[in-house]
Amino acid sequence: FFQKTLTAVKIWFTLFGWSKGQNPISIPHSLRRDVCIVQLTVSQEKTFKRKFDKDKGFYEMLLHLNGQPIPGIAASQSLPPDPVERMFHLHWQHSELLSFLKSQGASLSHVMPEFLLAPEDYKIWTEVNTGLRVGSMRSSGKLSGKRIFILEDRTFETMSKRAWTDVLLQIYKVFVLPRVSCRIVPDPSSLESLQNMPGIKSEPLCSNIYSRYERTVLIWLNKHYEKNRKIVWKDSQRGGIPPMRWIVNFDQDLLDGLVLAAQMAAYCPYLIPTHFIKMYTNPRTHEQFLHNSLIIVQALHAVNLDIDIKV
């Protein structure tokens, strides 16, 4: 499940994360490189300077998605030549990034800034904070009173991959998902058939799981499923019209493909006789679930919305 999530995140940010076309990314390697790579330049200050395509850096991506830069963090910056000072600067930068995202509503309390560092910087961080690099500590701001996690190389890579994936997911949540407007989604209670179904409130504090914008999407899913289930499968030979359901999550309630088919049918009704009518409306076996999933994939291919979808 985690690998599928990572792949989906990587594909979306590769295709839509940057302002000037696609930019292939790898998680966490290219992200750590974009925020950590420095290159020696010949100058009087003898500082290390980051060098990368100005339109392809991590913070350029945030600027594109957010519309404004993160306070205090410049897209182009000079980093100290001393490895320890450089590591602490990057640790501070990651801390500021996490704090800013959390202030926007991101759920990142489990992500520590050190897990966003490159492996060599993480090693220096553990040495400094366990007293193994006393000579380089000086006034670098050693963390005190905080639990230190010392991870082996392989474990750190796993943790770093998970941390960067969660950061990207939360970036999508707080910067992209809010573009969904409640005004374009009619109140589902206006549908007579939904009068007896519990409603989903879009108020900010009515859920500790989904944001207001995620609940708006759930309202949209409920609306189109209830409106179209009797239209799409009125002539179904594989189970008849599917029953009414209350869609409250994005995993279990979408597994059989029927909800997604109802959404697509609302905008592409010509797919009903060619694809959706062939679906099982009350699937019970793994084969029937797979059958429905394959039809959804074929429908997405038919309208050129597959976006590298694989089954």
Point out the least confidently predicted range of 50-54, 98-102, 105-109, 183-187.
50-54
Could you tell me if 269 and 249 lie in one domain?
Answer: yes
Could you tell me if 248 and 158 lie in one domain?
Answer: no
Average pLDDT of the residues in 138-156? 67
Could you tell me if 171 and 236 lie in one domain?
Answer: no
Asked if the structure places residue 230 within a domain, the reply is yes
Asked if residue 202 lies in contact with residue 182, where contact means CB atoms within 8 angstroms, the answer is: yes
pLDDT of residue 262: 95
Average pLDDT of the residues in 158-174? 94
Could you tell me if 152 and 217 lie in one domain?
Answer: no
Checking if the pLDDT of 254 tops 50, the result is yes
Instruction: Give CA–CA dist 22/88, Å, rounded.
Output: 32
Point out the least confidently predicted range of 135-149, 158-172, 281-295.
135-149
Q: Crossing angle, helix 119-129 and helix 83-103, to 10 degrees?
A: 100
Point out the least confidently predicted range of 53-67, 214-228, 286-300.
53-67
Instruction: Give CA–CA dist 84/68, Å, rounded.
Output: 30
Average pLDDT of the residues in 51-57? 52
The number of folded domains in the chain is 2
pLDDT band at 179 (very low <50, low <70, confident <90, very high): confident
Could you tell me if 27 and 159 lie in one domain?
Answer: yes
Which domain range does residue 291 map to?
Answer: 188-303
Asked if the structure places residue 101 within a domain, the reply is yes
Asked if the structure places residue 309 within a domain, the reply is no
Could you tell me if 219 and 254 lie in one domain?
Answer: yes
Could you tell me if 157 and 200 lie in one domain?
Answer: no
Supply the DSSP string of the chain, one letter for each residue.
Answer: -HHHHHHHHHHHHHHHSSSSS-----TTHHHHHHHH--EE--STT--EE----TTTSHHHHHHHHHSSPPTT--SS-EE-SSHHHHHHHHHHHHHHHHHHHHHTT---TT--GGGGS-HHHHHHHHHHHTTTTGGGTTTS----SSPPP---HHHHHHHHHHHHHHHHHHHIIIIIGGGS-GGGS--GGGSGGGTTSPP----TTS-SSS-HHHHHHHHHHHHHHHHHHHHHTTT-SSSSSPPP-----SSGGGTTSHHHHHHHHHH-TTHHHHTGGGS-SS--SHHHHHHHHHHHHHHHHHTT--TT---
Instruction: Give CA–CA dist 186/95, Å, rounded.
Output: 40
Q: Who has greater pLDDT, 192 or 256?
A: 256
Q: Who has greater pLDDT, 36 or 12?
A: 12
Asked if residue 132 lies in contact with residue 123, where contact means CB atoms within 8 angstroms, the answer is: no
Could you tell me if 201 and 174 lie in one domain?
Answer: no
pLDDT of residue 146: 62
Could you tell me if 148 and 278 lie in one domain?
Answer: no
Could you tell me if 98 and 122 lie in one domain?
Answer: yes
Checking if the pLDDT of 135 tops 50, the result is no
Asked if the structure places residue 128 within a domain, the reply is yes
The answer, as to whether pTM is greater than 0.85, is no
Q: Who has greater pLDDT, 146 or 221?
A: 221
Asked if the structure places residue 310 within a domain, the reply is no
Q: Which of 179, 204, 239 is the last residue of a domain?
A: 179
Checking if the pLDDT of 50 tops 50, the result is no
Asked if the structure places residue 308 within a domain, the reply is no
Could you tell me if 215 and 83 lie in one domain?
Answer: no
Q: Who has greater pLDDT, 121 or 41?
A: 121
Could you tell me if 174 and 192 lie in one domain?
Answer: no
Average pLDDT of the residues in 129-157? 66
| Report for 20-29, 46-55, 269-278: range of highest mean pLDDT | 269-278
pLDDT of residue 276: 95
pLDDT of residue 278: 94
Asked if the structure places residue 311 within a domain, the reply is no
